[in-house]
Structure 1
Amino acid sequence: MGWDEFLWHVDHGLGLCVGRPRYERAFSALVGFDLARGRGELAAFQEWMSAGHRGSSSAFWSLVLAETFGDGAIEDRLASDDDHKRAVSNLCRLFGEFLKQQAPTADQH
């Protein structure tokens, strides 16, 4: 399974695997998949997200929340199932955008 298929499952079927879809569960799934692949895509995604936020030292999962809900958004403020779904979808969308930008580089390896 590649990232595209994995992200689709996280975005559309996370609840089937882990109960209620929660942002921290989606984040954990991405970390686990990245570790299993052993290619370090999330480390590169961190750099990409930081560059898009003026070199912020915040973790990418925090930057995704800021892009979804505004500056100062933290996971504890996700109050509803819809908040979590928005955050999960945005995480998947942003990581998908990153992968598309990296595709020419990945094809060279």
Structure 2
Amino acid sequence: MGWEEFLWHVEKRLGLYVGRPRYERAFSMLTGFDLGRGQGELAAFQQWMSARHHGSSLAFWSLVLSETFGDGSNEDGLVSDDDHKRAISNLCRLLREFLGQQVSIADQR
């Protein structure tokens, strides 16, 4: 399974795998998938997210929340199912954007 198919499952069927769909469960699942692949894409995603946020040292999952809900946002602010769904959707969108840029860079080589 590749990233695109995996992200589809995270975004559309997370509850099937982890129970109640929650943002922290989504990024934990992403981390497990990345570790299982052994290619380190999330380490590069962390660097990419950090660069988008002027060299921030925050973890990518925290930076995604900032992009979704505004600076200073954290998991405590996710109070509704819709908040979690919005955060998960944006996490998947940003990861797709990152992976798409990586493919474009590789194609140019």
Q: TM-score surpassing 0.5?
A: yes
2:58 corresponds in structure 1 to 58
Distance 1:46 1:25, change over 3 A: same
Distance 1:57 1:64, change over 3 A: same
| Superposition misfits of 4+ residues, deviation over 6 angstroms | none
Q: Identical aligned pairs, as a percentage?
A: 76
1:31 corresponds in structure 2 to 31
Q: How does 1:11-90 map to 2 (within 5 A)?
A: 11-90=11-90
Provide the aligned length of Structure 1 versus Structure 2: 109
Q: TM-score, normalised by structure 2?
A: 0.95
Q: Deviation of residue 77 (structure 1)? A: 1.2
Q: Deviations over 1:11-49 (max 9, x none)?
A: 000011111100000000000000000000000000000
Distance of 1:50 and 1:103 partners within structure 2: 20
Q: Deviation of residue 108 (structure 1)? A: 8.3
Q: Deviation of residue 76 (structure 1)? A: 1.3
One-letter amino acid of the counterpart of residue 64, structure 2 = V
Please give the root-mean-square deviation of Cα atoms over the aligned residues, in Å: 1.4
One-letter amino acid of the counterpart of residue 80, structure 1 = S
One-letter amino acid of the counterpart of residue 104, structure 1 = S
Distance of 2:7 and 2:106 partners within structure 1: 18
Distance of 1:62 and 1:106 partners within structure 2: 28
